[in-house]
A and B are shown apart, each in its own frame.
Chain A
Amino acid sequence: AQSVTQLGSHVSVSEGALVLLRCNYSSSVPPYLFWYVQYPNQGLQLLLKYTSAATLVKGINGFEAEFKKSETSFHLTKPSAHMSDAAEYFCAVSEGYGQNFVFGPGTRLSVLP
Chain B
Amino acid sequence: GAVVSQHPSWVICKSGTSVKIECRSLDFQATTMFWYRQFPKQSLMLMATSNEGSKATYEQGVEKDKFLINHASLTLSTLTVTSAHPEDSSFYICSVSPPAGQGPNEQFFGPGTRLTVL
Q: Could you list which residues of chain A lie within 8 angstroms of chain B, going by C-beta atoms?
A: 32, 34, 36, 41-46, 49, 51, 90, 94, 97-98, 100-106
Contact = CB atoms under 8 A, between A and B. Distances in A.
A23 to B, nearest CB: 12
Interface string B90-118: 01010101011000111111111010000
A101 B107 contact: yes
Contacts of A46: 1, 106, 108
Contacts of A100: 34, 46, 49
B97 A43 contact: no
A67 to B, nearest CB: 15
A65 to B, nearest CB: 14
A98 B109 contact: no
A105 B43 contact: yes
Nearest to A51: B105
A106 B44 CA distance: 9
A87 B3 CA distance: 21
B42 interface: yes
A105 B34 contact: no
Given A32-B105, A42-B112, A98-B32, A90 B97 contact: no
Contacts of A45: 1, 109
Interface in B66-104: 91, 93, 95, 97, 99-100, 104
